[in-house]
Every structure is written in C-alpha cells, then in structure tokens.
Structure 1
Amino acid sequence: MQDEYDAIIVGAGINSLACAVHLGAKGWRVGIFEQAATPGGAVKTLELTEPGFRHDWAAMNLSLFAGSGFFKAHGADLVGRGLEFAPASNCFASVFDDGTWLGVSTGPGETRARIARFSEADAKAWDRLCAEFPGAAEYVFALLGNSMQMHVQGRLLAKALFRKGFAWTADLARLLVSSPRTWLTETFESPHVRATLAAWGMHLDFAPDMAGGAVFPYLESMASQNFGMVIGKGGADTAVKALLARIDAAGGEVHCGNRVARVLRNGSRATGIELADGTKIAAKRAVIANVAPSGLMRLLDGASGDAAFDAKMAKFSHAPGTMMIHLALDGLPDWTAGAELKSYAYVHIAPSLEQMARTYQQAVAGLLPDEPVLVVGQPTAIDPSRAPAGKHVLWVQVRMVPGVIRGDAAGAITGTDWASVKEIYADRAIGMIERHAPGFKAKILGRAVVSPLDLEADNPNLVGGDQVAGSHHLSQNFLFRPALGHATGNTPVEGLHITGASVWPGAGTGAGAGYMLARKLGGQ
C-alpha cells in the first residue's frame, strides 16, 4: 500500500470510480479506500441465491451511465476494457388490479397504441410530448449535466430565454417544480396512464404530491420512448470492472476492506486520511469523501471548523428506506395481464396515485406499508447470461419502507426488528406478485432478502436503507444539494471535497457528481 497519493477518495462507489478515472487521465495518482469487501457501492453483482444466478445488489439500470457526460468522455476506453451493455426496447410497464397493463417501448407507435386503449386524448397528449421532447431535453439534460453554479446555470437560463422565449422557459421551470400529480393530472385523463408514469417518481423519493418530482416521470418516460434502456451484460458490475481496469492502468489503487476513520488535517487543510487500524495515508492535492453528510462529519470528528456548515450537514435529511428481494427462478412470472410483460425490463406494481401516496406516508410514519410499491426487475428477460440456461433472476425493490419500524399498517406483523421481520415482509411482497402472476411462488428456487439496515451496513451512505443517499425534495436539490453554497462539493476544509449521490446532481448511475468534481480539480 502506497503511503502517498495525489488524491485520496473515501468510498468506492460509482462516483468515486468515475472521479478516479478522470483524474487518472489527467496524470493524478489516486488511491481509493473502501470499507466494504467489494467495490462499486450500490452497483455490485453477486451470487446471492444459487450458484450461477447473478443478482444486481441495488442498482440495475445503467441508462444514466450510458448517457452521461462521463461516458461520452471515457466510454470508448471502458468498452475496450470489457464494458458491455444489454439494450432493452421494452422498458417499463405497470399492471393493474382490473387485469390491464400499460408499458413504454421504443417501437414506432407501440406506446401510443397502448395509451389509446385507455384514452385517445391521452394518446394525443403523448404525441405532443414526444414531439416537444427534443427541444426540452436539450435544456433539461444541460441543467442536470452541469455544475450547480449560478454563472453556469445563468448562462443556460439566458440561452433558453433567447432561443425559446419567456413563456416556453417559464413552462419548463414550472415542470421542474411541479409535483407528479400536478403534471400528470394536467396532462393525462386516464388514471392508468398517470399511475404508470408516476411510478418513476417512487424510484427516488417523490410520492405523487411532492413538489419537484414531475420531471422524473417525464424524463424517464420520454427517454425510454426515444432511447430505450440499457442494463449491464452479465450484471451491472460490468461497469465497475471496466472502471477498475482503467484506474489500475493509470497507476491508481483501490483498497477494499479498509475503513477510513478520519480525515487528517494540518491547520485548516486536509492532508490525508487515517484508517481504522491507525495507518495514515497522505494526499498531496485533495481528499475526496464519497459519503453522506453525516459520514463526512464523522470523518471530521464532528467539526469542520465552520459551525454553519456543520449545522447544514446535521440537518441533511434522508428518504424512506428500500428493501430488496433477490430471487432465483425456474421461469419468469406468468403475468395474467399479458404475456408480453415477460419481455419488459421493469414491471411496476403501483396501481394508483392514491396507493403510492399512502405507501409513502405510511413509510414516513414508521409503518410497514400495507401495500408497498414494487419495482419488479426482470434482467434475464434482457440478458439471459445472468442465470443458467432456461432459468431467471428477479430483482425486486420494495418501496417505500421505514428504516426504523414502529408498526405495521396492515396490523399483521408485530415485530419491529428488521432482522426478524424482513422475511415475513418479503412474503407480503411476493404475495402481491403472486396475485398478478398466479403460480409465481412455485417458480422460486432461492431467495435473498436485503433489509434497509442490511443496505446501510454494506454502504453507510444509504442511511436507513435510503437508496438515493438523501431526499431530493426541492429544499435539498439543485443549489441545495447537499446544502446552499456546497453543491459543487466544496467544504470549509481546504483540499477536502464531498461527492456522491448526496451532492448535485444526486442519485443514479450517471456519476455526475464525481465526474464534475474531477473536471474541476483536474482543470476540465
């Protein structure tokens, strides 16, 4: 283990690895120190159930990574080191209690035709959104893909006003601050269409009535329609393996099983780190912490030297938790709503805005939701290489659930300890799938249930099982992620930077925070 690097990065998540790749390309020697046994953070692929069945631990969708500025800059190199995507043309769908379904695909006219079965007016609204999307996407993706600095975003605003005019720009701004329910009810009349798109808000922490959440259902539906989706060939860790290979080629090092205890300082400047075993490692140019704000304060022994900054970090709030269910299957679910659903990357069980809103409120209140939102990932429908021939894996996110259990909204589960409750609660979720796909339980060959606290134990950034590493509500997004004045990852300690999903532009596999920071430190 070297005792000095140009930069030290705490944590080996996707933002850390992207940051290290870009800094390495600029000639920096980078050392990454990770407390877990496996790098990748939420992007890991493991044999969790039966031999030969490869399960994505948390993140499955690599579309943000494939479409990122980082991939544009470094993608060719990563592909040369083994990165491979598996494309999905049937992206996501929802099943409903009345036996119907609705899905978004890339095929010409397919999605429109499905929407028209529910409402011709909604099909026309979909046509309008699709026609307008290229113009809107230019500005929305520029907003999400650039540093959250006033002069940068100011230039983007001026460009929109000059090219598109005030009314168009104001409409876009209204979309960015609207709740999913507001946008969806103004745009579509069918509750089935509204629910299908609203489910994407629940992938973050945007229940239907949360301001600022409309943009996520909008972007995911439009992007899926226009570009499709990608997952990793063989597992999401195809991205991690390629990133590690590039870091190694540049002379960087990744040390797993090494918990960082604190950031070392000389006066007001960060000079390195101290590991849990007492080993001290020097950083000549920067210490980069891919941690949640609470984790940053632990590394600083509770004080940065700036009381106002410390107070902001202490007030940083997390979204409700997530539970993961990984299943090895003898066959994909036989969805009663339609056999075509077997070809979709995701099938949501989230039948109405009301159910999603209720689930969210129950989780926030500390209750196990009586009917949680289920995100049923079918990766082997897209990439059969993840399981033995003829077999499948199922990736199920149970959203939302409380990190700390105070009770059960259904009144059936009396326990409050996740260690004893998780298998029982998994049975509830599996029962929901069974109702939409009779015979599903009989197909299960093996299962592994990961509670919110299991997620946090593996990755302390996921506080209470919060997979998005901090709420994205308006009070904690854009200029306020993680806090006003620190959206670029700067801290009061000279040479110390914070990155990761807790920093703008937030959660996902796009590696935006790590890449933006690396560009800033490395001179673009």
Structure 2
Amino acid sequence: MNLERGSVEAPQEYDAIIVGAGINSLACAVHLGAKGWRVGVFEQANTAGGAVKTLELTEPGFRHDWAAMNLSLFAGSGFFKAHGEDLIGRGLEFAPASHCFASVFEDGKWLGVSTGTGESRTRIAGFSENDAKAWDKLCEEFPGTAEYVFALLGNPMQMHIQGKILAKALFRKGFSWTAGLARLLLSSPRKWLTETFESDHVRATMAAWGMHLDFAPDMAGGAVFPYLEAMANQNFGMVIGKGGADTVTRALLSKIQSSGGEVHCGKRVTRVLRTGGKASGVELEDGSQIKASRTVIANVAPEGLMKLLDGASGDAVFDTKMAKFTHAPGTMMIHLALDGLPDWSASEELKTFAYVHIAPSLDQMARTYQQAVAGLLPDEPVLVVGQPTTVDPSRAPEGKHVLWVQVRMVPGEIRGDAAGKITETDWAVVKEIYADRALDMIERHAPGLKAKIISRAVVSPLDLEADNPNLVGGDQVAGSHHLSQNFLFRPAFGHATGKTPVDGLHLTGASVWPGAGTGAGAGFMLAQKLGGK
C-alpha cells in the first residue's frame, strides 16, 4: 500500500519501522513481512522507490527512469532468487537487452559488448587481436572467478563468513589464484586494464563502468567493476524494467501490502525515539509518534542517521565515523522526449544498445573526476547515454523515444567552470546551461539530435538530493566506494552489517555494505539477520 500524503493515519505501532522507501527498505520489508513481521515504512517523498522510480518528466506518455535504469543487479540478486516468483506474479516484468553497452570515440570508431556468440570478440579484434585473445581468456575464466567474486560481494561483511569464502578459494584454487583474485579486488581500473589490454579504445570502453560508481581510472579497488560489468554483460546480458524501473517498486509495494505492511509517503521522520537506551519508535514531522516493538531500521546516509539521533548515538567514536563519512561527486540527469533515436555517426548499430558511453580515454575520465572533486564543472563530463526505448518501446508513444542521460561527474557545490565559460554557481541556473554542454557532446557523435528533442527535463545534483537526502550533493551512490570506505569499512569498521550503538536501531541502504546499485543486498541481508533466512 503506497499511501499518499495524509490519506490514511498510520497505526501507532509496528513490529519494525523502516525510515525511507528506497529499494533496500522495500526488500527488507518484503522479507520481514514474509517472516510474519508487521512493517511500517515511512518516506518523506510523495513516491516510493528512492532512485528506482519512473515518472512522466517531459510529456504525457513518456516514462523516464528518475535515476536507476539498469536492473540487472536486482534480477541476479539473492533477494530476487528468494522472492522473485511472487514479485513476477505481482506484475514485475523485465525487458532484456542483448546489446548492452558501447563507447564512441573522437576518431569515429566505436566498441560495444553484446551477448551474441563472437560479436564482442570480433569488435575487439578490430582494434587488437591480442586484446581479442585476452578477452577470450577472461570469458573462459569468468565462471570460476565469478563464483568467488559474487560470493564475496553477496554475503554479509563479517570476518567469519568472508574468511570461509577465501579459505574455500585457497583450498580449491590454490594460493597463487587466490592472491590474483585479491589483487584484482585491490587494483585500480587503469592498472588492471593496461595489464590486460593494449588498445586504448578497449581500455576506455571497460573503464567507463568505473565512472558509474566513483572509480576514476586511478582509484584503487575499482578494477573489479569494469571487469564484472564487461563479463556479466557478455555472458548474461542486461535487463531494464518493462514500462519503467518502477515495475520493481510496484511489485514490492504489492507484496508488502499482502503481508500486512504499509508504506506511508509524504511522511518525514525527524527523530528516532529511545526508551531506556533502546530504539522504540520514530517521531514524524507533524509531531506524531509511532512505536516499534522490535526494531527501527534507518535507510539513510550516515549524516542523516545522526540527525535522527539528535547528533549523538551515545558512542562518540561511532558519531565521529559517521560525521567523516565521505560522499562521491555528484551527478546531473537529462531526460529527453525524442522524435527518434540518436543517429550515431560511428554506426547505425549503436541505436540497438541500452547504453552508449561518451568517455573517450582513461586520462579524460581521470581529469573529469579531479575537476568535479575540486568543485569545477568538468570541461567534458563523462556521459552515460541510456536508450531504454530501443529495448522497451512501451516507455514512449509509438514511434517516439526517451533518452536517459547521466552526466558524471559534477560537483554538488560549484566553485567554477573548468572550461572557463560558465560564471554562475547556482545549480538552479547552471543546470540548463550545463545540459547544453552535455547535449553538444552527444551532437558531435549523433548529429541532428537536438532537432529531435520534443521536450527535456534537467535534474541537478541538488534536485536529486532534495528528492532523496541520501544522495548528498547529488551523489547517486550514497557514499564513496573507495577502499577506505568499502568492504569492512562501509560505512565504518565494525558497522558493515548495519549495526549501530543504539540497541534496536539498524542502518541499511547504499551507504552500508555491499553499497550502491539495485541489488537490494543491504536490506535483504539485514532482514535475514533479523527475521531469519
């Protein structure tokens, strides 16, 4: 039940209260509800889903994914394995993409990864036969490597669990292989890519995936993401939501309702109530108080958690760690309603790809990242151009299309323009000007795009944060994933399971291990911990 603002009064007590209605919250509520818990979810926005929602942002009939578009992590998650059949029965439907991602380059060339037998290899061989052979080797070894990588990333970050996985790898694969896996997990994208491939075009195509998180080419710990995305897309393809990413949200809401739970939108939680040092409920913005007989779960960024605790958990060390939690640079979104798909100069075939990256080199990506971190509008940001209607035509009227453009990276607070052209520093003004810069970049690779635009909606980093306070400064990944803030240290050492110093209060969401994405891992693992598997 997705209750709109003020439509129904919330009951005065639940077994569990969850703050925020993002995908981790909803997955947690589904699993706890399946275990007999009565769950109440309270969301400040008027629509549930967090980053996973679909809106008519431009014109009637044009459905745009607000932030998240790729649902592959959800489809492959442990949560979906446990509850997917029921969700499909409640209307969840995926649209598969066999042409997953591509990159276009200034020299007019392009490279893409598809699931068809030999397609990706043939394209790579056009740049380097040695790289094609390296690709063959990666594909051959992927099943054995994936078993352990997915196990590490898909389990609670507790030493005894992760230790067993590594011990199993040592026993079955040997020390040398296990050390190689550890090296991959610790390497930067540039280090792994330059060791593996010789073509700059191939390296850049893979490295673009690091920029979906906050892994610029030289950031340690980032290599695993380009590796996994390339291999997973080659082997399994990609899925987006049929009709929009909110197909997931709607199915989750239906499941929560069926188990007696409720999701209340337009209800901002301002404080976690404590009785005898234990979390006992929440207070809403209107002053009403709702009790939780078992637990309170906060799907918030660390600074948001401290606000709910009036600045003090009772553990000064924990409070300091939460205050020092670091966010990644921001993102700007451009949503276009189009008369037709972009006419990519490099190849007509690019119209069939779910994503087209404009990220021409490792050095350009590194420069873009550093400019954003310094508070500068990048002279040429990395662009992730999503073409959902080539995969799922139902998102737009017949013959029309939507374009989903993610502009990475940008500063949440503007201190200047790396190109020296934009003098304004207010995102309310800058977003339309900067959108023109991004569209000019696409136009270079797809002449005539601007003439096809029916309408556009630009979402600044601060617009993203206003809708979802977890996205601080437009940080779509809810916190940096650099090694100092990942694995055992997400969000801080000793708290990767969502444990807080307040008895009965748990933290979940993308700021908690295993981090960002649509896999709902943090919410599902917490629900298993509380309610059982």
Q: TM-score w.r.t. structure 1 length?
A: 1.00
Q: What CA distance in whole angstroms lies between the structure 1 residues aligned with 2:237 and 2:395? A: 20
Confirm or deny that 1:407 pairs with 2:436: no
Q: How does 1:450-489 map to 2 (within 5 A)?
A: 450-489=459-498
Q: Which residue identity lines up with residue 338 of structure 1 in the other structure?
A: S
Among residues 121, 136, 140, which one is paired with 2:149 in the alignment?
Answer: 140
SS of residue paired to 2:484:
helix
Q: What CA distance in whole angstroms lies between the structure 2 residues aligned with 1:144 and 1:211? A: 17
Among residues 179, 183, 206, which one is paired with 1:170 in the alignment?
Answer: 179
Q: How does 1:246-325 map to 2 (within 5 A)?
A: 246-325=255-334
Residue 523 of structure 1 and its aligned partner are, at CA, apart by 1.9
Structure 2 residues not aligned, in runs of 5+:
1-9
Could you say which residue in structure 2 is the equivalent of 1:214? 223
- Residue by residue over 1:452-491, the C-alpha shift from the partner in whole angstroms, topping out at 9 and shown as x without a partner, is 0000000000000000000000000000000000000000
Confirm or deny that 1:55 pairs with 2:68: no
Q: How does 1:375-394 map to 2 (within 5 A)?
A: 375-394=384-403
Q: What CA distance in whole angstroms lies between the structure 2 residues aligned with 1:63 and 1:139? A: 19
Could you say which residue in structure 2 is the equivalent of 1:96? 105
Q: What CA distance in whole angstroms lies between the structure 2 residues aligned with 1:400 and 1:446? A: 24
Q: Which residue identity lines up with residue 299 of structure 1 in the other structure?
A: L
Q: What CA distance in whole angstroms lies between the structure 1 residues aligned with 2:189 and 2:200? A: 13
SS of residue paired to 1:92:
strand
Q: What CA distance in whole angstroms lies between the structure 1 residues aligned with 2:153 and 2:86? A: 24
SS of residue paired to 1:375:
strand
Residue 391 of structure 1 and its aligned partner are, at CA, apart by 0.2
SS of residue paired to 2:220:
coil
Among residues 346, 369, 374, which one is paired with 1:365 in the alignment?
Answer: 374
Could you say which residue in structure 1 is the equivalent of 2:240? 231
SS of residue paired to 2:402:
strand
Q: What CA distance in whole angstroms lies between the structure 1 residues aligned with 2:288 and 2:354? A: 45
Q: Which residue identity lines up with residue 446 of structure 1 in the other structure?
A: S
Residue 268 of structure 1 and its aligned partner are, at CA, apart by 1.4
Confirm or deny that 1:12 pairs with 2:21: yes
Give RMSD over aligned pairs.
0.3
Residue 147 of structure 1 and its aligned partner are, at CA, apart by 0.2
Could you say which residue in structure 1 is the equivalent of 2:188? 179
Residue 368 of structure 1 and its aligned partner are, at CA, apart by 0.2
SS of residue paired to 1:199:
helix
Structure 1 residues not aligned, in runs of 5+:
none
Among residues 36, 52, 75, which one is paired with 1:43 in the alignment?
Answer: 52
Confirm or deny that 1:119 pairs with 2:119: no
Confirm or deny that 1:202 pairs with 2:211: yes
Among residues 431, 434, 449, which one is paired with 2:440 in the alignment?
Answer: 431
Could you say which residue in structure 2 is the equivalent of 1:447? 456
SS of residue paired to 1:206:
coil
Could you say which residue in structure 1 is the equivalent of 2:360? 351
Q: What CA distance in whole angstroms lies between the structure 2 residues aligned with 1:98 and 1:188? A: 19
Aligned length: 524
SS of residue paired to 2:405:
strand
Residue 329 of structure 1 and its aligned partner are, at CA, apart by 0.2
SS of residue paired to 1:200:
helix
Could you say which residue in structure 1 is the equivalent of 2:406? 397
Q: Which residue identity lines up with residue 377 of structure 2 in the other structure?
A: L
Q: What CA distance in whole angstroms lies between the structure 2 residues aligned with 1:3 and 1:341? A: 54
SS of residue paired to 1:286:
strand
Q: What CA distance in whole angstroms lies between the structure 2 residues aligned with 1:456 and 1:523? A: 34
Q: Which residue identity lines up with residue 169 of structure 1 in the other structure?
A: T
Confirm or deny that 1:240 pairs with 2:249: yes
Q: What CA distance in whole angstroms lies between the structure 1 residues aligned with 2:176 and 2:276? A: 51
SS of residue paired to 1:398:
strand
Residue 451 of structure 1 and its aligned partner are, at CA, apart by 0.1
Q: What CA distance in whole angstroms lies between the structure 1 residues aligned with 2:338 and 2:178? A: 48
Q: What CA distance in whole angstroms lies between the structure 2 residues aligned with 1:355 and 1:180? A: 14
Q: What CA distance in whole angstroms lies between the structure 1 residues aligned with 2:394 and 2:320? A: 48
Q: What CA distance in whole angstroms lies between the structure 1 residues aligned with 2:330 and 2:214? A: 9
Q: What CA distance in whole angstroms lies between the structure 2 residues aligned with 1:220 and 1:484? A: 27
Q: What CA distance in whole angstroms lies between the structure 2 residues aligned with 1:500 and 1:113? A: 40
Could you say which residue in structure 2 is the equivalent of 1:339? 348
Could you say which residue in structure 2 is the equivalent of 1:107? 116
SS of residue paired to 1:208:
coil
- Residue by residue over 1:337-381, the C-alpha shift from the partner in whole angstroms, topping out at 9 and shown as x without a partner, is 000000000000000001000000000000000000000000000
Could you say which residue in structure 2 is the equivalent of 1:506? 515
Residue 185 of structure 1 and its aligned partner are, at CA, apart by 0.1
Q: What CA distance in whole angstroms lies between the structure 2 residues aligned with 1:259 and 1:4? A: 17
SS of residue paired to 2:423:
coil
SS of residue paired to 2:214:
coil
Q: What CA distance in whole angstroms lies between the structure 1 residues aligned with 2:162 and 2:370? A: 34
Could you say which residue in structure 1 is the equivalent of 2:40? 31
Q: Which residue identity lines up with residue 296 of structure 2 in the other structure?
A: V
Could you say which residue in structure 2 is the equivalent of 1:68? 77
Residue 143 of structure 1 and its aligned partner are, at CA, apart by 0.5
Residue 267 of structure 1 and its aligned partner are, at CA, apart by 2.2
Question: Sequence identity of aligned pairs in percent?
Answer: 84
Q: TM-score w.r.t. structure 2 length?
A: 0.98
Q: What CA distance in whole angstroms lies between the structure 2 residues aligned with 1:334 and 1:289? A: 45
Could you say which residue in structure 2 is the equivalent of 1:492? 501
Q: What CA distance in whole angstroms lies between the structure 2 residues aligned with 1:115 and 1:512? A: 33
SS of residue paired to 2:408:
strand
Confirm or deny that 1:159 pairs with 2:168: yes
SS of residue paired to 2:126:
helix
SS of residue paired to 2:335:
strand
Q: What CA distance in whole angstroms lies between the structure 1 residues aligned with 2:270 and 2:125? A: 57
Q: What CA distance in whole angstroms lies between the structure 2 residues aligned with 1:412 and 1:337? A: 29
Q: What CA distance in whole angstroms lies between the structure 2 residues aligned with 1:207 and 1:2? A: 47
- Residue by residue over 1:68-117, the C-alpha shift from the partner in whole angstroms, topping out at 9 and shown as x without a partner, is 00000000000000000000000000000000000000000000000000
Q: What CA distance in whole angstroms lies between the structure 2 residues aligned with 1:460 and 1:333? A: 33
Q: What CA distance in whole angstroms lies between the structure 1 residues aligned with 2:49 and 2:512? A: 17
